Structure 1
Amino acid sequence: MDMSSAPPVHTVSAFYKLLLIEWAVLLGVSAIVYLIARFWKSEGEGFLREFGIEPRSRQSSGSPYYLAPSEAKARRLAVWSLGLLWILDGLLQAQPELGTNFFGAVIQPVMSGQPRWVNDLFLSVTQLLFTSRPLWFDSLTVWIQILLGVGILAGPERFIGRLALRGSITWSLVVWAFGEGFGQIFSGGSWLMGSPGSVLVYAALAVVLLAKADAWEHGQVKHGMQWFVTVWFLASAILQALPSAGYWSGNGLADMEVGMAQMPQPHFLSAPLYALAHALSHGPMGWNAVFVAVPLVLAVGWFTAPESRAVQVATGVVLLLVWWLGQDFGVVGGAGTDPNTALPLFLLTLAHNFLPRDGSSPWTRLWRSAPRAAAH
């Protein structure tokens, strides 16, 4: 994408003035809501009795979201990961390049190569909104994401935290369809560059955090994470192997790597990308075979032995290398809307690794359930 021309100064100024005004309004509304909540907590029951209404007695039982320390550490990591990721996305959305040219910098490149129905039904809607009222809609996106992140940091034990988590799932699906073009899975997306989309990992983390304590303690959350990572890596291998993606020949991957390297960034960040692009331009078939094999091996590892230290370390190393060399940390260049897919997926697998071990895997659980199914 062309980053050579800076947006007009007066447009950037108008964008940040709008953000400042909206911040003041949000701060005022938040203060009012907080004062009302404090008043209701201390005086609400007496207020209801003044009108002859007997308030319902509060439940004395513990919260269904209370976790034992063995699982609480993993959930706390997931809460902070998801909350800070959404806040970071909101702050990135406030960059001048996005506030004044979101369609040209983000949506237009995503539209390239998409099926007609994706552009007509989804991305064209985003084009209409962000070209008709670019400052307003971009600032709205900023605050939605920041508020979701702040709400999630309250934790699933609180109502506001659960509300933010449910809202984040909805918003993730909106962004995936209308902002990421379904993670570019219909236009030759590569897992190295972020397909099938970082917000799907955000949604998975939100689903995990909405699980009640029983699901954490009985291993259902951990098993769900294992299935998610297994399917994710398997889908990544399939996307990379599709002949229609065009990675078995030509310079498809090399061109994308050069495009990232040309983003405004320090030389020490761009130099490794140029070196990798040069390597990818020689023998694309061999390189693509490697990029198909790596997620396939990881999928097998997560299916058969997700608690193996070798699988966990290999996953972390691969994801961090991909985040660096394949995704340029997601935020470099002034037009990144999020840190891309590898980082949130790494954080999800890290939360999984903090959970107590039970010695099982998707493979062993399927094997054990097969005789019972046959008996019935």
Structure 2
Amino acid sequence: MPGILSSTRSSGSAQFKHNQVRPALKFRNADERVWHVKRRISSYLGAIWIADALLQIQPVMFTEDLVSSVIQTNKALLPSVLTPYFESAARYISQDPQAWNVIFAILQFLIGSLLLSSSHLPVKLCLCISIPWSLAVWFEGEGLGGIFAGGLSVLSGFPGAALLYVVVSVMLLLPDHFWLSTDRFSPVRDAPSVFWFPAAIQQSLPSFWAPVADSAQIINNASYPPPMAYAVSDVALVFAHFGWIANAFLVAAMLSISFGTYGEHSVIYAYYPLFALTLFIWIFVEGIGGIFTGIATDLNTGPLILLLSLPSFSHARNRRRTLLSGCITSHAG
């Protein structure tokens, strides 16, 4: 019996070591890992573009409401020097909203379909096309994300989903050496840190410490049918009740995420609150992009923040697995 138990224990230990080492050897080299991450992100981005195209063909989008309820509402977010250009574009679209909306939907569907392609050239071409289109949407459809309006935060979709489309697309177009950089700062690896630090600074502004500041954003942005609307209202009541304590928690969480995801030695455990906070904002504050309103044109910033974080998360996870496999191999030796 002792011999059998010893043999079984030894076999189980060997199997455990094998299972621990295998994930670190999933990719033959770093270039293959980067290709895999890029491919996954471009596929997710393509799916989001197709979802946007489906939102674009909602019945209301083929009426005058496309201009009056979707586009014109962003005029107040722009500085006065830019409003003439905004109004000119809106006036041009209002002449035939049906035709323009068909063009918008087809373009978004084509971008999404090409991003789902397995060929490198169509994906790269599509990313190049999507950047100017996203910038146009950021201006005309989002009022530059409200960066000149003030009083907005990540909770309300700042700095605009369209701008994040641009950032993710540029990241995917960057050569692999940017993705593999071990410098003190890497634009790809440190993207979530760069995003969440100014978000924390913005959330710490005086206007967000009022008892109803954050709860008002939840009520204004969430648009669920019952019974989900009741759950969102309950969350808003919690924020209203705790006031500055809730906002302090948000600021602390954002700062922790920013510092935890920065650098070559980012902490893998910092990404779990990142994902949790992003999903919380997307579900309870952004109302899953407002898809229940009938006038939503995109899924808002939540999914794009997650895409922005995937390269950094992949780097941290791969580094952790490599360290674990090295420790296990050393221990086995």
- With the shorter chain as reference, the TM-score category is 0.7 to 0.9
Which residue, out of 268, 272, 275, partners 2:227?
A: 268
Indicate conservation of the 8 Å contact 2:219/2:233, yes or no.
yes
Residue in structure 2 matched with residue 281 of structure 1 by the alignment? 240
Residue in structure 1 matched with residue 306 of structure 2 by the alignment? 346
CA deviation after TM superposition for structure 1 residue 283, in Å: 4.9
Identity %: 27
Instruction: Give the letter aligned to residue 129 of structure 1.
Output: Y
Which residue, out of 241, 247, 250, partners 1:291?
A: 250
Q: Higher relative contact order at CA 8 Å, sep ≥6: structure 1 or structure 2?
A: 2
Instruction: Give the letter aligned to residue 248 of structure 1.
Output: W
Indicate conservation of the 8 Å contact 2:196/2:258, yes or no.
yes
Instruction: Give the letter aligned to residue 309 of structure 2.
Output: T
Instruction: Describe the SS at the equivalent of 2:300.
Output: coil
Instruction: Describe the SS at the equivalent of 2:154.
Output: coil
Q: Check if 1:107 corresponds to 2:66.
A: no
Which residue, out of 159, 183, 195, partners 2:145?
A: 183
Which residue, out of 126, 131, 134, partners 1:169?
A: 131
Which residue, out of 84, 109, 115, partners 2:47?
A: 84
Residue in structure 1 matched with residue 259 of structure 2 by the alignment? 300
Instruction: Give the letter aligned to residue 329 of structure 1.
Output: I
C-alpha change, 1:126 and 1:234, in structure 2 (3 Å) is: farther
Deviations 1:285-344 (A, max 9, x none): 333333333222211222257642211111111111111112111123212111111112
Indicate conservation of the 8 Å contact 1:114/1:186, yes or no.
yes
Indicate conservation of the 8 Å contact 2:60/2:295, yes or no.
yes
Q: Distance in 2 between matches of 1:196 and 1:337?
A: 16
Range that drifts further, 336-345 or 272-281: 272-281
C-alpha change, 1:347 and 1:256, in structure 2 (3 Å) is: same
Q: Distance in 1 between matches of 2:251 and 2:297?
A: 27
Q: Distance in 1 between matches of 2:230 and 2:282?
A: 15
Indicate conservation of the 8 Å contact 1:322/1:342, yes or no.
yes
Residue in structure 2 matched with residue 373 of structure 1 by the alignment? none
Residue in structure 2 matched with residue 198 of structure 1 by the alignment? 161
Instruction: Give the letter aligned to residue 318 of structure 1.
Output: L
Indicate conservation of the 8 Å contact 2:192/2:312, yes or no.
no
Q: Distance in 2 between matches of 1:312 and 1:273?
A: 24
C-alpha change, 1:254 and 1:104, in structure 2 (3 Å) is: farther
CA deviation after TM superposition for structure 1 residue 151, in Å: 1.9
Q: Check if 1:320 corresponds to 2:284.
A: no
Q: Distance in 2 between matches of 1:67 and 1:301?
A: 23
Which residue, out of 233, 248, 268, partners 2:209?
A: 248
Q: Check if 1:143 corresponds to 2:102.
A: no
C-alpha change, 1:284 and 1:306, in structure 2 (3 Å) is: farther
Residue in structure 2 matched with residue 258 of structure 1 by the alignment? 219
Q: Distance in 1 between matches of 2:274 and 2:53?
A: 28
Q: Distance in 1 between matches of 2:180 and 2:200?
A: 32
Indicate conservation of the 8 Å contact 2:208/2:247, yes or no.
yes
Which residue, out of 109, 133, 145, partners 2:96?
A: 133
Query: 5+ unaligned residues in a row in structure 1: which ranges?
Result: 1-65, 360-376
Residue in structure 2 matched with residue 368 of structure 1 by the alignment? none
TM-score, length basis structure 1: 0.68
